[in-house]
Structure 1
Amino acid sequence: MTAPTRILTNGKIWCGLAEGFAEALAIAGDKVLATGPAADIAALAGPETEVIDLDGRLAVPGLNDAHLHLHLYGKSLVQLDLRPAAGVTSVQAIVDLVAEAARNAKPGEWILGRGYDHDKLAELRHPTRRELDAVSPDNPVFLHRTCGHTTIANTLALQAGGIGHNTPDPFGGKIGRTAGELDGLLFENARASVQAVIPLPTEADLVDSIERGGKSLLSFGITSCMEAAIGLEVGTVELDAYITARKDNRIPVRVAGTLMGDLERNILDYAHAKGLVTGVGDDIFRIGPVKYFTDGSAGAGTAWMSRAYENDATNFGVQCLTQEQTDALTMAAHEKGYQLAPHAIGDAAITMVLNAYEKAYAAIPAPDRRHRIEHCGWHTPEDLPRMIEMGVIPAGQPSFLYFFGNGYYTILGEERPQHCYPFKTWLDSGLHPSASTDCPVTSPDPLPCLYALVARRSDSGKPMGLDQKLTVAEALHLYTYEAAWGVHDEDRKGRLIPGQLADVAVFDTDFFTVPPEDILTARCLMTMLGGQVVYRAAA
C-alpha cells in the first residue's frame, strides 16, 4: 500500500452514518487512504509521513453547506452588519450605524447593509423611511432584512428606483405603506427597480467576494457548499467571476454553482451555450442545478401559504410565479439536462413546484435527475408521497428553526411552527434531506444548525416540532453525505472512506457525548481540504 502523506490519530474520527468511528485516518495526497485502529494506521507510515495528533478531539468529514450564497456572503462582510449577533438589537442601533456610514460617505454614495431581524429588535418593528432620511439626507440607503426578501429604503433610494406614493404593487411584490404614506418597506419583486440602479460590482469585485467568503467558511469547518444563486444580482458576470476565480485558484472551498433560471434573472441560455450543464466542472467548481423563485420567506410573511398568516387574516404571502410560468421554467431547464432547485417555502408554492415536476418527468423521464426544493419549509401531508415518488430532495435550513423560530410563533401561531422543516420525516421516508444556513440569511456557522437538528428548539428555547429530533450522527449525515448527494457528489465526498476526498473538520467538542446546548459553544480547530491543512484556529 502507498505510504500516507498524513495520518490523523489520537482522536475520535466519525467517518459517516453507516461507517461509524475510527481511531485514526491515513491520507495519501488529496484522498483518504485508510481508516481503522490507531496501531494499524501507524504501521502504514513511511519516513515522509506527517503525523497530526488530534489530542482527543472530534474529527468529521468536512462540512458541506447545501444552500448558501458565497459571493453575497463575501460581499456582506464589507457592508453594514445589522445582525443581532453583531449587537444590533434595536431600531436605534440601525439608525446609528447608518448615521455613521453617512458621515463617512461621499454625497450620493449608496449605504448598503444586511442582517437585521425586526422580530429581534426591541421595538419589534422595521426601521422607517423617515428615520433613515433623518440621518442620511444625501445618501440612498438600502438595508436587507436577514431573510433577504424584504428591504427598507430611504426616500433617495425609493426615488432612484422610480417608486412614488402612487406606484402600484408589482406582481410578486408589495410596496409598504403606513396610513397611506410610503414607509420604505419593499417586499419581494417590489425591490427590483431599486436594485436595478444600485452600482453593480465588477467581475473583479465578485472574485474578491468569493475568495473572502470562502476563507471565512473554512474557519467553520465548511469545505464544500452549494452556491444557491449565480446570476441573482449581476447576471452572467457572476458566472464569469466564478470561472475566473477557479482559473486563478481563488475559490477556497468546493462549490456546486446554482444558475439562475427565473423570468427576469436568467443566465441559462448563456451557460448552456458554453456547455455548462449540471455536473460539468471539477472538484473545486462544478455546475449544479437551476433556480427560480416561487415565493418569499415565512419570517417576512411572504412565503405563499394555503392558509392565511395568524397575525393577518388577509395575508397568504406572495406568489412570485403562476403555475404556467413555473411549468415553463421547469421544462426549459429539464429538457436541457439540468437539475432543478427552485425556491419554495410555503405549502402553496411547494405544491405548484411539484405539479411542474410531474409534468416535466412525464414528458422526459429522468430517474436520477434529483430535482430539489430549496427550503421546503411547510408542505401538506398530501404532498409528501409525491416527493417520495419523484425522489425530490428537500433542502431545508435548520438554522431557520434556531434563529427565526420565535418569529414563526409570532406570525404563524403556536401550532404551525411545529410542522415546519420535518427533517426526521424526510430522512425516515427515504428522501435525501440536506442541511444548510442560506448564509448570509443566517450566519454560516454550522453549530446552530446541528443544535436545531438534535434539539429542535429556537434560540430562546421554543419547541419547533420535538418529534422531528435527529441523533447527532443523523445531523452530521445531513451536513456531509446528504449535502453531497444533493449535487451528485456522494461518490467523491461526504464520508471519510478510502478513495474519497480527504476533507476534514476538527472540533474541540465531542458532539456525541455533550448536552445539545454545548454544541453551540464548540469551536472548529482545524480544517483540511484535499489532505492539506487550510485553517487552524488561533491558540
Structure 2
Amino acid sequence: MHIDLIIEQADVLTMDPSRPSASRVGVLAGRVVGLDEELDGVTAEQTVDAQGATLLPGFIDAHTHLQFTGQGMSAVDLAGQGSVEAALGTIAAAAQHAGPEAWIEVVGYDQRVLGRHLTAQELDRAGGGRRVWARHISSHAAVVSTSVLDGITDRAVLAIPGVAEGLLLESAQEHVRAQRIPYPVQDVAGFVERAGRAARAEGITFCMEAGNGGFLSLSGIDLASYITLVEQGRMPVRMQVMPTSDVLHPVATNAQDTFSRGLDLGLRTGFGGDLLTLGAQKVMLDGGMMVQAARLTEPYVGSGGAGRWQDDPEAMRHAIVDGHAAGWQMAVHAIGDLAVDLAIEAFREAQQRHPRPGARHRIEHGGAIRPDQIPALAELGLAVVTQPSFIYDSVSDFADMLGPDRAPWLYRGRSLLDAGVRLVGSTDRPLPGSPLRAIQSFVDRTSKNGRVLGADEAITVREALELFTVHGAWVAGLENCLGRVSRGYLADLCLLGANPLTVPTEQIAEIPVLATAVGGELAWS
C-alpha cells in the first residue's frame, strides 16, 4: 500500500482512550489510515522523522474572532505601551503618514494598563483631527475622536455617560461601525487568512468564529469572505461560523414548525463541508467584565453598577427558545452570574416546551458561575466554552472587581468537570493567549503577576488538553472525525517540541509548535 504521508519516531498523544499512544502515523487523502503496526510494509510519498517530538490532534479553538484579529494585525497596536503619553505618541506617529480623510484604527487598547481611559480630545490631538477608533482588547468598548462622535446623530447615545468623552460601550459601538463598515469581502478574507495562519502557528487547526453579525462582523456579507477563501484554496484552518441572532429574520413557517425566525432556505447549524460549516446561533446576553458590563446579581466592588444587558431580557429569552425550537445549536454569551441565570432559565424553558436531547447548547465564557448554578448546567447538558488564558491575563483584576466572596466563581474548572459539565477550551483571540498558555493556566491557576486564583479549580494537564481537542470536536458536532489521532479521523495534527504531560507545568506555555497539518498538509513553523 502506498499512502501520502508517514510521520515516524513521534511521541504520539492520540487522545483516544482505546489507544493512548503511538510512534507512527499514516495519512492518505487527508485522513489517518493507520498507527504503528498498521503501517508495516506501507510506503509513502513523504516520510517525516519527528525525532521524538510530540504529535497531538490539532488544537480546536471553540471561540475566536479571526476577522478582528486579522484587522488588528494591520492597525496601530498599543500593546506594550504602558502610559497614556506613550499610547498617544504611538497614535500620533501613525497619523503623520495618513491622509486627512483616513481612519486611524487602533487595537491593543486597555485602560487598565494605561491607568485610565483615553479621551476624545486626546485622540483629536494625537490624530491631528482625523477619525480615530481605538478598540478595546475585549471588543466590548471603544474610545473614538470627536470627528467620529460628530457622525453620531442619535441623541440618546450622545447622552450616555462617558460618550461625550469618547467612550462607547457595547452596542453603542454600532454607531462607529455604521460610519466605517462594511469592509470589502476581499479585505475581510485577507484578515481571516492572516489571522488563521497566526492561529495555525500556535497549533490550532480548527477555529469557530464566535459571532457573524452585529458589532462582531466587519461586513454584512462576511460569510462570502470565508467562501472566497475555500474557493481559492486559501483557508488556513477549518472554520465554523456562528451567525448572531440579529441576522435572523421572520420566515414563513408552518404552525407545526413551532418557530418563527431563521435564515433563508432554513439554513442552520450543521450546514457546510469539511473546511467551512455553519455552527451555533449566538445570543449575547451581557457585556464584558473588563469594562464592568458583565451582568451580576450584585454590584461590582466600589461601584453602584452591576453590569448591563445587551437587549431586553425577555427578547433574548425568546430568541434562545425560538432558536432551540428551530433546531439550532445555541451559543449564549453569559459572563456574569445573573446572565448565567437567564441562560439557564431560557434553556430549561426551551427543553420543556420542545424536548430535544443532545442539543449541545453552549454557554460562552461563563466567567462567574455561582455554586448553585453548577447542578443546573449539568442537568441541562450545557457545555461551558471557557477561556483559561484569562486566568493568566485578567482574572486577577476580575477578582478585585468581585471581591473575595465571589472571586472563587471565576473561570471554574474542577467543580464543573466533577459535576459532569463539559468544558471546552478557546482563546477569544484577538485577546492574548495561545492554547498552550491556556492549558498551563487551567493547571496552575496562576496570573502573570504570580497570584494563584482558585487553586481548588485546577485540573490535570490531560484534562486541559481534552478541552482543546476531544471536547472542542464534540461541541462542533464532529467528534467522529476530529479531536483524536485515530484511524479514519481527519489528519489535523500539531507537532510540539516537548510533551505537555511530562514537562514541568510552568514550561507548558513555552513549548514550541514545530508544525501543523490540516488534512495531512504539513506546514512547518
Taking structure 1 as the reference length, the TM-score comes to 0.90
> Are residues 266 and 464 of structure 1, via their aligned partners in 2, closer, same or farther at CA, if it must alter by over 3 Å?
farther
Match in the other structure for 2:225: 241
Once the two structures are superposed, residues 135-183 of structure 1 have per-residue CA deviations (whole angstroms, 9 ceiling, x without a partner) of: 12321111111111011112111112237799333xxxxx416xxxx32
Query: Which residue in the other structure is 2:387 paired with?
Result: 397
Contact 1:259 1:267 in 2 (8 A): no
Cα distance change of structure 1 residues 528 and 361 upon mapping to structure 2, 3 Å threshold: same
Give the aligned partner of residue 470 of structure 2.
481
SS class of match (1:237)? coil
Deviation sequence 1:495-536 (CA, Å, 0-9, x none): 001111111101112211222221122211110111110x21
Q: Percentage identity across aligned positions? A: 31
Q: Using the alignment, how far apart are the partners of 1:296 and 1:27 within structure 2?
A: 44
Superposed displacement of residue 271, structure 1: 7.0
Asked whether the 8 Å contact 2:152–2:158 carries over to 1, the reply is no
Q: 1:460-487 CA deviation, whole Å, 9 max, x = no partner?
A: 1211211111211111100011011111
1:260 aligned residue: 244
Residue in 2 aligned with 1:32? 32
Unaligned runs of 5+ in 2: 252-260
Alpha-carbon contact 1:259-1:268 (below 8 Å) kept: no
Answer yes or no: is 1:292 the counterpart of 2:276: no
Asked if residue 419 in structure 1 is aligned to residue 409 in structure 2, the reply is yes
The aligned residue for residue 57 of structure 2 is: 61
**Alpha-carbon distance change, 236 to 198 in structure 1, aligned in 2, over 3 angstroms:** closer
What's 1:172 paired with? Answer: none
Give 1:482's aligned amino acid: H
Query: Are residue 377 (structure 1) and residue 367 (structure 2) matched?
Result: yes
In 2 relative to 1, CA 472–44 (structure 1 residues): closer, same or farther, beyond 3 Å?
farther
Question: What corresponds to 1:330 in structure 2?
Answer: 320
Q: 1:362: which partner in 2?
A: 352
**Letter of the aligned partner of 2:302 in structure 1?**
N
2:207 partner amino acid:
C
Q: 1:311 to 1:45 in 2, by over 3 A?
A: farther
Give the SS at the match of 2:56: strand
User: 2:187 maps to what in 1?
Assistant: 205
- Asked if 1:134 is matched to 2:131, the reply is no
Structure 1 gap segments, 5+ residues each = 170-174
Greater shift in the superposed pair: 191-200 or 141-150: 191-200
- How many angstroms does 1:287 deviate by? 0.6
Q: How does 1:11-410 map to 2 (within 5 A)?
A: 11-16=10-15, 18=17, 19-36=19-36, 40=37, 43-46=40-43, 48-83=44-79, 87-121=80-114, 124-162=115-153, 167-169=158-160, 175-176=161-162, 182-231=164-213, 232-234=216-218, 236-262=220-246, 266=248, 272-312=263-303, 314-410=304-400
Count of residues in Structure 1 that have an aligned counterpart in Structure 2 = 513
Map of 1:536 onto structure 2: 524
Query: What secondary structure is seen at the aligned counterpart in 1 of 2:330?
Result: coil
Report how far residue 17 of structure 1 moved: 5.8
How far does residue 235 in structure 1 lie from its aligned partner after superposition? 5.5
Matched, 1:459 2:441: no
Quote the Cα distance in structure 2 between the aligned partners of 1:82 and 1:491. Answer: 42
Cross-structure match for 2:254: none
Residues 1:196 and 1:520: Cα distance change in structure 2 (over 3 Å): same
Amino acid at match of 1:96: G
Q: TM-score scaled to structure 2, two decimals? A: 0.93
Q: CA deviation at 1:33?
A: 1.6
Q: CA deviation at 1:337?
A: 1.3
RMSD over aligned CA atoms reads 2.1
Q: CA deviation at 1:192?
A: 2.0
With over 3 angstroms needed to count, the CA separation of the structure-2 counterparts of 1:515 and 1:258, relative to structure 1, is: same
